[in-house]
Amino acid sequence: MSSLLPFGTAGQWFKGSLHTHTTQSDGKLPPAENMQWHADHGYDFLGLTDHNRVTDPLAFTAKPPLLAIPSVEISARRGEVEYHVIALGVRSMPIAHHQDPQATIDAVNAAGGLCFIAHPYWHDHTLDDLLTLRGHIGIEIFNTGCWLEINKGHSLVHWDGVLRRGQRVWGLAVDDSHFAYPDHGRGWVMVRAERLDEPTILDALRLGLFYSTMGPEIYDVQIQGQQVLVHCSPARSIFLVGDIYHCPHAAQAWDGRPLTEATFTLRPQQRYLRVEVVDMNGQSAWTNAYFVE
Ligand SMILES: [Zn+2]
Ligand SMILES: [Zn+2]
């Protein structure tokens, strides 16, 4: 029996907010207040991702109340298609804004940061818009602001689309909070790491050692032969999602009693799997995808 990463690996869980705006761009809270709100609400780390300018936490407070990673949301463009690239762990703009998205990703990586593609559904990205890109760690699969404003917060179809075509990218839940209305504290990542420091957290994100959530907790996903066992906080539904259909891969709390575990059987042709847990309020948590070799 082995656990799907990051479950069962050494370390502890750290709660992180990867996409939020301050008064350095179009957010309502100054950087220090934004950081304090996250610290007060159980977050261990965050990236302040203002538009097209790096927000360095240390420029606003000598002692941040949580691990605050210098970050930026970089606008990019290819033809008519807009991209927003979230870059974490950069000290200055690695490239001008509105350049090609691949050049933007490459520049972030060359600067020692990591990046992912923001809100594919909100940007109405096609699979081709995403499949041409290389070097990003993943895409946003849930964005609170895009959900609350125009109901285009969930990009799971985009994610399964690229996964099914063999692109191994992680799925990230974020708020994209601006604090003009309650758009915060609804989407985050739980990272498994040995220590809470910038290099360790960035490495864990690169390696996919996290799950994304709107609230539910996933405790373990074990694989034993063809069996997949899931343990989680009380749920209405537990799904094993992958690249096959014509077979049920769901456990449902039909009788109204919440589920805390489920067992599924992998299909012989199945190439990847991921677990999604939905709680009694309809809020989801998502593991990263695991490719069956
Ligand atoms: Zn954006
Ligand atoms: Zn944003």
pLDDT digits (tens, 9 = 90+) for 212-246: 999 999 999 999 989 999 999 999 999 999 998 77
pLDDT at 71: 98
pLDDT band at 248 (very low <50, low <70, confident <90, very high): confident
Per-residue model confidence (pLDDT) at position 111: 98
The pTM (predicted TM-score) of the whole model is: 0.97
Enclosing H/E stretch for 140? strand 138-143
96/53 Cα distance (integer angstroms): 10
Residues 6+ apart with CB under 8 A from 263: 227, 228, 229, 230
88 has a pLDDT exceeding 90: yes
Please report the pLDDT score of residue 214 as a whole number. 98
Q: What's the average model confidence in pLDDT over 267-272?
A: 89
Q: In percent, how much of the chain has pLDDT > 90?
A: 93
Q: Is the pLDDT of residue 57 over 90?
A: yes
110 CA → ligand 1 middle, Å:
22
Could you tell me which of 247, 237, 251, 291 has the C-alpha nearest to residue 267? 247
Distance 165 CA to ligand 1 centre (A): 25
Q: What pLDDT is recorded for position 1?
A: 72
Q: How far is the CA of 145 from the centre of ligand 2 (A)?
A: 8
Band (269; pLDDT cuts 50, 70, 90): confident
Q: How far is the CA of 46 from the centre of ligand 2 (A)?
A: 14
Which ligand sits nearest to residue 48's alpha carbon?
2
Q: Give pLDDT, residue 247.
A: 77
pLDDT bucket at 8, cuts 50 / 70 / 90:
confident
Is residue 248 exposed (0-12), middle (13-18) or buried (19+ Cβ within 10 Å)?
Answer: exposed
Handedness of CA 69, 114, 197, 90 (dihedral sign): negative
Mean pLDDT to the nearest integer, 108-122: 98
pLDDT given at position 38 = 98
Whether the pLDDT of residue 50 is over 80: the answer is yes
**Mean pLDDT of the 20-32 span:** 97
Instruction: Tell me how far the alpha carbon of residue 145 lies from the centroid of ligand 1, in angstroms.
Output: 9
Does 27 score more than 90 pLDDT?
A: yes
Sign of the dihedral defined by the CA atoms of residues 275, 140, 166, 114, in that order:
negative
Using the predicted structure, report yes or no on whether residue 32 has a pLDDT greater than 80.
yes
Centre of ligand 2 from the C-alpha of residue 176, in Å: 5
pLDDT greater than 80 at residue 47: yes
**Which ligand is the nearest neighbour of the Cα of 27?**
2
| Mean pLDDT rounded to a whole number for the chain | 96
- Chain centroid to CA 138: how far? 8
pLDDT exceeds 90 at position 99 = yes
Instruction: Provide the pLDDT for residue 235.
Output: 98
Ligand 2 midpoint to CA 45 (Å)? 17
